Amino acid sequence: MASDEHQGATEGDEGSKARRILIGLPKIKAPADFGLRLQRRLTEERRRMVRSVGSLSLVPVRISIYTASVIAIVGVSILAYYVLIRTGVTPEEFSSPEQKIEAVPFGDSLLNEGGR
């Protein structure tokens, strides 16, 4: 390509005969059914464009699903924060099934109260 540069000759005799021959070539035309075939392809193209627009309309739905997921995660996190930390319940206590309940002797307390 570089060898082509800076060799801009003008239209001279050289090759002018070839030019005349080429100009004399008959003009090739599109077939008679060209418009019909093009219309068919354009109809397909329009359908394809509608389909692609349709698929684009799914994007907001997809976004809202993701948004809902994020909101749900954030919501659960906030709830967990309030339940576990703000209320003073440690995760160990929350998850421990054995809660220590001080045993109060049922009979003794009644006797004591009655004794008063």
Partner 1 sequence: MALFQGGNEEAFNEIVARYKNPLTNFLFRFLGNYDDSIDVVQETFIRVFRKRDMYRPIAKFSTWIYTIASNLAKTELRRRALRGWLSLGQLRAGCGQDVDVADERYSPEKPAESALMEEIIQKALLSIPQKYREVIVLRDIQELSYEEISKITGLSLGTVKSRINRGRTQLQALLKDIYNV
Interface residues toward partner 1, by CB under 8 A: 1, 4-12, 14-19, 21-23, 25-31, 34-35, 37-38, 41-42, 45, 49
Q: How far is the CB of 54 from partner 1 (least distance, A)?
A: 17
Q: How far is the CB of 8 from partner 1 (least distance, A)?
A: 3
User: Is the Cβ of residue 8 or residue 88 nearer to partner 1 in the bound state?
Assistant: 8
Question: How many residues does this entry show for the chain?
Answer: 116
Q: How far is the CB of 39 from partner 1 (least distance, A)?
A: 9
Whether residue 84 contacts residue 90, with contact meaning beta carbons closer than 8 Å, is answered with yes
User: Is the Cβ of residue 7 or residue 55 nearer to partner 1 in the bound state?
Assistant: 7
Whether residue 39 contacts residue 33, with contact meaning beta carbons closer than 8 Å, is answered with no
15: left (phi over 0), alpha (psi -120 to 50) or beta: left
And the tokens for 31?
A: 């077939």
